[in-house]
Amino acid sequence: MKDDDILAHIHELIAEEHGLRQRLASGSISSHEENNRIKQLEEALDQAWDLLRQRRARREFGEDPDSAAPRPIQEVEEYRQ
C-alpha cells in the first residue's frame, strides 16, 4: 500500500469508529458488539500507523518504502510497549 492508500484506510477506520459510537448511542447495537468491533478497529489502526512508520523509515534510509509490510497485531502491540 502507498502512503495515500494507508491514510485513506485510516480515515475509513476512524469514520467507522465514529459510526459505531453513534449506533451505540441510538441503541441499534449493543455495547458488547460495539466493544468487540472497536477492539478490531484499534488493532487495524495500530497496524496501519505501524506500516506508515515503516515506510517513512525505509524512505529516510534510502530503502524502498514499498518493501514495508503489515506486521501481525501481536508484533505491533509488543513493539509499542
Tens of pLDDT, residue by residue over 7-48, are 999 999 999 999 999 999 999 999 999 999 999 999 999 999
pLDDT at 55 over 70: yes
Q: What is the pLDDT of residue 80?
A: 56
pLDDT at 77 over 90: no
Helix residue ranges per DSSP H, 2-72: 3-26, 31-60
pLDDT at 54 over 60: yes
Confidence label for 78 from pLDDT (cuts 50, 70 and 90)? confident
Which residues, 6 or more positions from 71, have their beta carbon under 8 angstroms from its beta carbon?
47, 50, 51, 79
50 class by beta-carbon count within 10 Å (0-12 exposed, 13-18 middle, 19+ buried): buried
